[in-house]
Amino acid sequence: MSAAVTPELARAFGLNDDEYARVQAILGRIPSLTELGIFAVMWSEHCSYKSSRIWLRKLPTEAPWVLHGPGENAGVVAIGEGLAAVFKIESHNHPSFIEPYQGAATGVGGILRDVFTMGARPIANLNALRFGDPAHPLTRRIVDGVVRGIGGYGNCVGVPTVGGEIDFHPAYNTNPLVNAMTVGVARADRIFLSRASGVGNPVVYVGAKTGRDGIHGATMASAEFGADAETKRPTVQIGDPFVEKLLIEACLELMETDAIVAIQDMGAAGLTSSSVEMAGKGGLGIELDLDRVPQRETGMTAYEMMLSESQERMLMILRPGREALAERIFRKWGLDVAVIGRLTDTGRLVVRHQGRIEADIPLGPLATEAPVYDRPRQAPPPPPPPGEAAAQDPVGLAAALERLLASPDRCSRAWVWHQYDATVGGETVKRPGAADAAVVRIEGHLLALALTTDCAPRYCAADPRLGGAQAVAEAWRNLCAVDARPLAFTDNLNFGNPEKPEIMGQFALAIEGMAEAARALDFPVVSGNVSFYNETEGRAILPTPVVGGLGVLEDAAQARGIALAPGLDLVLIGATQGALGQSLWLREILGLQAGAPPLLDLAAERRCGEFVRAEIAAGRIAASHDLSDGGLLIAVAEMALAGNTGVSLLPGPAGLPPHAFWFGEDQGRYLLATSDGAALLARAEAAGIAARLIGRSGGRDLTLPEGTTISLASLRACHERFFPAFMEGSG
Amino acid sequence: MRVGVVLFPGTNRERDVLTAFVRAGAPRPRLIWHEESDLAGLDLVVLPGGFSYGDYLRPGAMAALSPVMTAVRAFAARGGYVLGICNGFQILIEAGILPGALLRNVTLRFLAQDCHLRVERADTAFTRHFQKGAVFRAPMAHGDGNYFADPATLARLEGEGLIAFRYTPPAGELAREANPNGSMNHIAGIYSANLRVLGLMPHPEDLVDPVIGGEDGLPLFTGLAEALAA
């Protein structure tokens, strides 16, 4: 490429006129094409967080157990016994629409690298997915590709995929969300960071060769799609999980030595962002000689190499004299390794190629002069009230239960889970569907981590502040439900175009809600990712701030699942007002997306969660399930199906319509199974916790309070029908 | 008992196997790099699961050509014990140590779910701690586990009692829906003629601990530990 650099070209690269003027002021001249490309990606929304930065500062990021918060490749928390959990969630939404298999696969690959870059062996993957209306012609193909891509990558690298979530809504019709989360474990005193040090130290490239794939992927992820979205396919990267597996093993082997000063994966904006961030954080300069970069194609230009997003590559700063050691380990694993530059004291990024200087940029201003925007915002109007209709139940409990259990948002996800290897590693204590959070034990220890992803976008759309807080509270609740101590979360903030005030309004309010819940629950955020511009042809997705929560169990054997056994009392913990606003019942039975979402009482949330954990820890609880989408009766049915054990239900309170009691989505509630319900009720009362005996387990039927009986076999058929029928045209 | 666990590029269930042997009370196995060719002193060689060479070309096809497999072939010919699990089974077949082929699952999708295995004979080093006809649970995780053999080979395997495990429902009868990958005769695992080489698709090594969900697979490892104790 040798196009002349003009303001028009800068605009085509995604820099506005003001930003392009800043580039010229920093350089004191017109940039070269390579320099323009470097500024464009580093100042893209994806890399610079220019629209979100001032808001992200409002989130609490500290706690005594937080070792590294946002700003590193991933968050790090101490989990006891000298160990640390390293985790992050990241979106790959735009690529997953253009090319679902590769988009999802490389999303998994990218987040894995963020975690093992820090010295942690990945032990679990999760995925938060949002798809369009099942009736939309593209949805089936996107679901198929995304699920195959996640499995294809995760299964091959040998990291178990243990959890996540899937929802459908027309707002995601041409803008699916693929948020991939990885959790790893490292020694707390052996965490590797990206801050370069040591003038003269070698800059070493390892991993796969560089090709022309993914050039300007970060810029693509920072713009809306038009009708021509499919023509953007060449900017999607291609993943190779086999190379990733080798890279994991080689990096972890080298990390056992003292060779590495700093390390950073080449993710979005590849060689550019990794070299700029490492040298920039260290306050140093860096010189790169692109002739030494391992290349997969011939005739690549400096521009192409600096902007390539070829996968499975890492950049390291080594101690002097350790090059041969690194080379021996990487060659053993069959990977390319090359010294491609060195650190300098100039504070500049200097890129050489074929005897020419292709870029010479001062790193300080590239970071400090990066645009930061306080964009105009406008709070969304409150949703219409549900009206009188919600007061009546037109179908009855049994029919509503069957319809909700069969609905795409609440039906069994087994068809999906059965394509993800959840058992590799031999440490998966609670697999997908077995408990509210996945539980994975740490090899050689009793310790286990509990992991979950949560967000209710319909709540966020109706009330972004409440919805943001609810996502945090629900993740915290899911961790408590398995008896984990919640430690911290990672967030993936998926929104529309931030240049629109109503989108920026949603974003700011959601952050405020998340911050409030995080503070109230001592549950800080330690890493995350913002994905804006989730719009196609001017239509935005629902605001979707996904929370990836992590907690710790001192003994994996304590973990509780949802499966019922016979002969147990079922006790509802937490207060029920019968909140039907924005509920699944309202949507699936009355066809209404209306009303205010359920209120959140964060003090009660915390009290209930701590009570539940104490009860489980005391060995008194056989099964435990939080109440979420669809409310109490859905939770009962899920526990019954998981344990293949029936339940006889008692009538609800006299003051509430039955459908509001059984399908209301009041927050902060759990359903516990115990051999002595009366004793549990007494302890709850003593602790000032609302509790109510709602039924007893046994038999092979679900008996509703008004006497209707549904066999588990028939419930299971409802629950398991959707995915096989939708995806395979069978079942 | 001295056990070697072979590590190919892309192997990913080697730690699961190490853990299973340790839980079975056996000494910790030694890892063997795929470029090694000295198996002297070993009683049992394990080829664990994973995606050796990324499953490129065909699962197991490239690993079958590695130096260690020349040694494994000779080791098996000398009467050594060999256990191939999942990708290890695929490699044993590609290396010609066990007969037949493992085709794409009939569903054309990766299958990661629990299955039940019926023990076809309990008089081998691998199954001595099971009862004949017993059914145990094991996770499966593969895309290419659909066992195929020509009629003559299949007749020989059946006739000589070389079927190790079959996919069945928990009660042990034969049923098509309990054979998710579509294997001929519901075959999940087979022996060599001398009963010292076993290849199977599912992962008994991932169910050896009550905290993880059960000890269904443990008898395989305790049985081997007892049979090969020396």
Q: What's the CA gap between A298 and A131, in Å, rounded?
A: 39
| Pair A289, A203: CB distance under 8 Å | no
- Distance (Å) from the C-alpha of residue B155 to the closest C-alpha of chain A? 32
The reply to whether A663 falls in a domain is yes
**Average of per-residue pLDDT values in chain B:** 97
Residue B11: closest C-alpha in chain A: A158
The letter for the amino acid at A220 is M
Q: What's the CA gap between A507 and A467, in Å, rounded?
A: 11
Lowest mean pLDDT among A107-111, A216-220, A567-571, B130-134: A216-220
A261: burial class by Cβ within 10 Å (0-12, 13-18, 19+)? buried
Quickly count: other Cβ atoms within 10 Å of residue A364's Cβ.
14
Asked if B112 and A426 come within 8 Å (Cβ–Cβ), the reply is: no
The reply to whether A533 falls in a domain is no
Residue A215 has pLDDT above 80, yes or no: no
The reply to whether A543 falls in a domain is no
Q: What is the reported pLDDT for A269? A: 81
Residue A728: closest C-alpha in chain B: B107
Question: Tokens at residue A589, please?
Answer: 């039975």
A731 pLDDT band, cuts 50/70/90, is: very low
Residue A391 has pLDDT above 60, yes or no: yes
Q: Tell me: the pLDDT tens digits for A149-173?
A: 999 999 999 999 999 999 999 999 9
Instruction: Determine the straight-line distance between the first and last CA of chain B, rounded to whole angstroms.
Output: 6
Q: What's the CA gap between A167 and A136, in Å, rounded?
A: 14
- Distance (Å) from the C-alpha of residue A390 to the closest C-alpha of chain B? 41
Q: What is the reported pLDDT for A537? A: 77
Which residues of B are less than 8 Å from A162 in CB distance? none
Q: What's the CA gap between A479 and A468, in Å, rounded?
A: 17
- For tokens 């009392």, name the residue: A569
Beta bridge partners of A186: A84
Question: Tokens at residue A17, please?
Answer: 């006129």
Q: What's the CA gap between A238 and B190, in Å, rounded?
A: 37
Dihedral angle of Cα A673, A677, A681, A687, to the nearest 10 degrees: -60
Put the strands of the sheet holding A691-697 in their side by side order: A623-626, A670-674, A569-573, A691-697, A647-649, A701-703, A709-711
Higher local confidence (pLDDT), A536 or B154: B154
- Return the SS3 of A338: strand
Q: What is the DSSP letter of A392?
A: S
Residue B205: closest C-alpha in chain A: A426
Asked if A419 and B111 come within 8 Å (Cβ–Cβ), the reply is: yes
Q: What is the DSSP letter of A292?
A: G
Longest CA–CA separation in chain B, Å:
44
Q: What is the DSSP letter of B176?
A: G
Among the listed residues B14, B34, B86, B94, the single catalytic one is B86
Q: What is the reported pLDDT for A234? A: 56
The reply to whether A624 falls in a domain is yes
Q: What is the reported pLDDT for A231? A: 55
A315 pLDDT band, cuts 50/70/90, is: very high
Domain range enclosing A604: 560-731
Active-site residue set of A: 46, 92
Q: What is the reported pLDDT for A388? A: 81
Closest Cβ opposite residue B54 in set A242, A333, A419 = A242
Q: Tell me: the pLDDT tens digits for B100-115?
A: 999 999 999 999 999 9
Nearest to A405 by CA among A637, A643, A645, A667: A637
- Kindly tell me the sign of the dihedral angle through the C-alpha atoms of A502, A504, A509, A511: positive
Q: Tell me: the pLDDT tens digits for A23-54?
A: 999 999 999 999 999 999 999 998 999 999 99
- Kindly tell me the sign of the dihedral angle through the C-alpha atoms of A412, A416, A420, A421: positive
Q: Give the list of residues 6+ apart from residue A56 with CB closer than 8 angstroms, or none.
A: A49, A70, A511, A528, A530
Closest Cβ opposite residue A419 in set B10, B49, B112 = B112
Which residues of A are less than 8 Å from B56 in CB distance? 242
B230 pLDDT band, cuts 50/70/90, is: low
| Pair A179, A127: CB distance under 8 Å | yes
Closest Cβ opposite residue A421 in set B109, B141, B208 = B141
Question: Tokens at residue B191, please?
Answer: 């022996």
Angle at A697 between CA A695 and CA A701, to 5 degrees: 100
- For tokens 């929104």, name the residue: A495
**DSSP 3-state helix, strand, coil percentages of chain A (rounded to 5)?**
40, 25, 40
Q: What's the predicted TM-score (pTM) here?
A: 0.96
Q: Please state the domain count of chain A.
A: 1
The reply to whether A692 falls in a domain is yes
Q: What's the CA gap between A349 and A285, in Å, rounded?
A: 6
- Return the SS3 of A479: helix
Q: Tell me: the pLDDT tens digits for A262-301?
A: 999 998 789 999 999 999 999 999 999 999 999 999 999 9
Question: Tokens at residue A73, please?
Answer: 């490749």
Among the listed residues B34, B129, B186, B203, the single catalytic one is B203
Residue A383 has pLDDT above 90, yes or no: no
The reply to whether A706 falls in a domain is yes
Closest Cβ opposite residue B139 in set A240, A243, A423 = A423
Q: What is the CATH number of the domain that holds A693?
A: 3.90.650.10
Q: Give the list of residues 6+ apart from residue B4 with CB closer than 8 angstroms, or none.
A: B29, B30, B31, B32, B39, B42, B44, B45, B46
Lowest mean pLDDT among A227-236, A386-395, A466-475, A578-587: A227-236
The CB-side HSE value for B128 (13 A sphere, CA atoms) comes to: 13
The reply to whether A696 falls in a domain is yes
Asked if B12 and A242 come within 8 Å (Cβ–Cβ), the reply is: no
Assess A447–B contact: CB distance below 8 Å, yes or no. no
Residue A1 has pLDDT above 70, yes or no: no
A3 pLDDT band, cuts 50/70/90, is: low
**Sequence-ordered strand ranges (E) for A169-252:** 177-187, 202-207
Q: Give the list of residues 6+ apart from residue A93 with CB closer than 8 angstroms, or none.
A: A175, A176, A177, A178, A179, A221, A494, A531, A534
Question: Tokens at residue A413, please?
Answer: 């996800």
Assess A441–B contact: CB distance below 8 Å, yes or no. yes
- Kindly tell me the sign of the dihedral angle through the C-alpha atoms of B183, B185, B187, B193: negative
A407 to each of A588, A722, A726, B190, how far by Cα in Å?
8, 7, 12, 43
A216 pLDDT band, cuts 50/70/90, is: low
Q: What's the CA gap between A483 and A557, in Å, rounded?
A: 10
Q: What's the CA gap between B164 and B199, in Å, rounded?
A: 8
Higher local confidence (pLDDT), A238 or B144: B144
| Pair A543, A506: CB distance under 8 Å | yes
A368 pLDDT band, cuts 50/70/90, is: confident
**Average of per-residue pLDDT values in chain A:** 94
Q: What is the reported pLDDT for A64? A: 98
- Kindly tell me the sign of the dihedral angle through the C-alpha atoms of B148, B151, B157, B161: positive
Q: Is B205 a catalytic residue?
A: yes
The reply to whether A648 falls in a domain is yes
Residues written for chain B: 230
Asked if A426 and B212 come within 8 Å (Cβ–Cβ), the reply is: yes
Closest Cβ opposite residue A423 in set B50, B111, B206 = B206
Which residues of B are less than 8 Å from A240 in CB distance? 54
- Distance (Å) from the C-alpha of residue B183 to the closest C-alpha of chain A? 18
Q: Tell me: the pLDDT tens digits for A616-640?
A: 999 999 999 999 999 999 999 999 9
A289: burial class by Cβ within 10 Å (0-12, 13-18, 19+)? middle
Assess B229–A contact: CB distance below 8 Å, yes or no. no
Quickly count: other Cβ atoms within 10 Å of residue A296's Cβ.
14
- Distance (Å) from the C-alpha of residue B13 to the closest C-alpha of chain A? 6
| Pair A664, A631: CB distance under 8 Å | yes
Assess B205–A contact: CB distance below 8 Å, yes or no. yes
Asked if B53 and A242 come within 8 Å (Cβ–Cβ), the reply is: yes
